[in-house]
């Protein structure tokens, strides 16, 4: 049978067939991806073949189909190992807040660079709109302008009050969307507002523990009532930017990418080179200083997680 992986614990995978049934499956044999050593070979969003074990409700995954794209998380140790979080995404949404807690611009830019590197369209969802003062709303519209100009759609919502949730739902229709965000930005509240029957989740989790499966999920997919699905990544703070060479980094900033062929040197690092079109654009205000700071920070390998 063919199915879609909707949940993964690293040893168990939940696979959904086109008729909507879900089966718990294990993996048999080895699945290797060229050039990438991963701790989990199959991830949420993967299309697989599986066979049910005789007289059992559980199955064995026998084939993994090619991925359109995938996102990974670096392992904590220094080995080259990575964990695949999700595969075959149509878009990635980062939930952010301007206050309580404030999502830093460095964090946002890092997320956007990662999405560019994986070739996944990214959007920003500003939550807790109900908390904004008049000045706050002005700052918000400035932020939105910066990112929208770069081609990243921005939405302002209140999960608490339900503001602009129907418009957001429209954008999710028939797409597979990854939701990401710092702890406390209201990602869970937002998902509850989008998926009215999310209470199902807690039930499923306890069912899994009854079977003695360990229930630390990397990611989980939920179907939207009107078509499409969203992928939640509980406990994952940041997507890993691995495999980006320093020389490639500017390519993942759209405002730099469009100027790269105007630099005097074709191996320009855009740091202090004469005739650098990027530096020139920063100086005359065509590139946002905060974006350039993020470039330098990622270039120098600094952690911008705060
Ligand atoms: N005022 C306001 N508060 C909100 C809104 N959305 C969420 N909150 C509050 O923000 C806090 C964090 O919300 P959660 O939904 O738990 O946030 P989360 O991002 O899932 O965070 P973790 O559960 O830590 O991963 C809670 O106290 C929510 O009630 C909103 O739109 N407006
Ligand atoms: Zn340059």
* Domains of the chain, residue spans: 2-73, 86-232, 246-299
| 75 Cα: distance to centroid of ligand 1 (angstroms) | 27
Architecture of domain 86-232: 3-Layer(aba) Sandwich (3.40)
- 229 among the known binding-site residues? no
Residue 87 pLDDT > 60, yes or no?
yes
Q: Residue 279's pLDDT band (boundaries 50, 70, 90)?
A: very high
Contact 194, 186 (CB under 8 A): no
| 115 Cα: distance to centroid of ligand 2 (angstroms) | 22
Alpha helices by DSSP H, listed for the chain, are 105-118, 134-149, 165-172, 187-194, 200-210, 254-257, 277-283, 289-299
Contact 30, 65 (CB under 8 A): no
| Ligand 1 proximity of 103 Cβ (cutoff 6 Å) | no
Instruction: Output the six-digit token pair for 216.
Output: 């630390």
Give this prediction's pTM: 0.88
Element (H, E) at 83: strand 82-87
Q: Residue 243's pLDDT band (boundaries 50, 70, 90)?
A: low
| Ligand 1, atom 32, residue with closest C-alpha | 128
pLDDT for 225 equals: 87
pLDDT tens per residue, range 104-118? 999 899 999 989 998
| 124 Cα: distance to centroid of ligand 2 (angstroms) | 28
pLDDT for 53 equals: 87
| Ligand 1 proximity of 259 Cβ (cutoff 6 Å) | no
Residue 208 pLDDT > 60, yes or no?
no
Q: Residue 54's pLDDT band (boundaries 50, 70, 90)?
A: confident
Contact 129, 156 (CB under 8 A): yes
Phi, psi at 233, each rounded to 5°: -125, 80
| Ligand 1, atom 17, residue with closest C-alpha | 186
| Ligand 1 proximity of 158 Cβ (cutoff 6 Å) | yes
Contact 6, 14 (CB under 8 A): yes
Pick the CATH number of 246-299 from 1.10.40.50, 1.10.20.10, 3.40.50.11540, 1.10.540.10: 1.10.40.50
Q: What is the mean pLDDT of residues 210-227?
A: 72
* 212 vs 41, residue with greater confidence: 41
Pick the CATH number of 2-73 from 3.30.70.260, 2.30.30.110, 1.10.10.60, 2.40.50.140: 2.40.50.140
* 202 vs 80, residue with greater confidence: 80
pLDDT for 78 equals: 52
**Considering every ligand atom, which ligand is closest to the CA of 262?**
2
* 243 vs 79, residue with greater confidence: 243
pLDDT for 304 equals: 46
pLDDT for 57 equals: 81
Q: What ipTM was assigned to the predicted interfaces of this complex?
A: 0.95
Q: Residue 237's pLDDT band (boundaries 50, 70, 90)?
A: low
Instruction: Output the six-digit token pair for 57.
Output: 């409700």
Q: Residue 152's pLDDT band (boundaries 50, 70, 90)?
A: very high
pLDDT for 84 equals: 82
Residues 6+ apart with CB under 8 A from 137: none
| Ligand 1 proximity of 126 Cβ (cutoff 6 Å) | no
- My answer on whether omega of the bond before 101 falls inside 30° of 0, hence cis, is yes
Residue 203 pLDDT > 70, yes or no?
no
């Amino acid at each position: 049978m063919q199915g879609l992986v909707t949940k993964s614990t690293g040893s168990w995978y939940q696979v959904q067939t086109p008729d909507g049934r879900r089966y718990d499956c294990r993996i048999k044999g080895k699945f290797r991806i060229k050039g990438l050593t991963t701790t989990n070979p199959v991830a949420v969003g993967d299309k697989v073949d599986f066979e049910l074990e005789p007289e059992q409700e559980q199955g064995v995954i026998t084939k993994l189909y090619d991925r359109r794209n995938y996102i990974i998380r670096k392992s904590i140790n220094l080995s080259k190992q990575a964990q695949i979080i999700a595969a075959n995404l149509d878009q990635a949404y980062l939930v952010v807040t301007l206050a309580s807690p404030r999502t830093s611009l460095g964090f946002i830019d890092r997320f956007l660079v990662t999405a560019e590197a994986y070739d996944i369209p990214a959007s920003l969802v500003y939550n807790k709109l109900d908390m904004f003062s008049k000045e706050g709303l002005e700052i918000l519209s400035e932020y939105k302008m910066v990112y929208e100009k770069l081609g990243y759609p921005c939405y302002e919502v209140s999960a608490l009050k339900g503001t602009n949730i129907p418009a957001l739902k429209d954008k999710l229709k028939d797409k597979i969307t990854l939701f990401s965000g710092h702890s406390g930005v209201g990602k869970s509240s937002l998902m509850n507002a989008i998926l009215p029957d999310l209470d199902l989740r807690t039930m499923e989790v306890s069912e899994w523990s009854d079977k003695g499966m360990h229930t630390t999920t990397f990611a989980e997919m939920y179907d939207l009532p009107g078509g499409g699905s969203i992928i939640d990544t509980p406990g994952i703070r940041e997507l890993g930017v691995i495999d980006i060479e320093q020389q490639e980094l500017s390519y993942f900033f759209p405002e730099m990418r469009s100027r790269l062929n105007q630099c005097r040197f074709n191996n320009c690092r855009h740091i202090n080179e004469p005739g650098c079109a990027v530096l020139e654009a920063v100086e005359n205000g065509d590139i946002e200083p905060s974006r350039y700071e993020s470039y330098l920070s990622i270039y120098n390998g600094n952690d911008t997680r705060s």
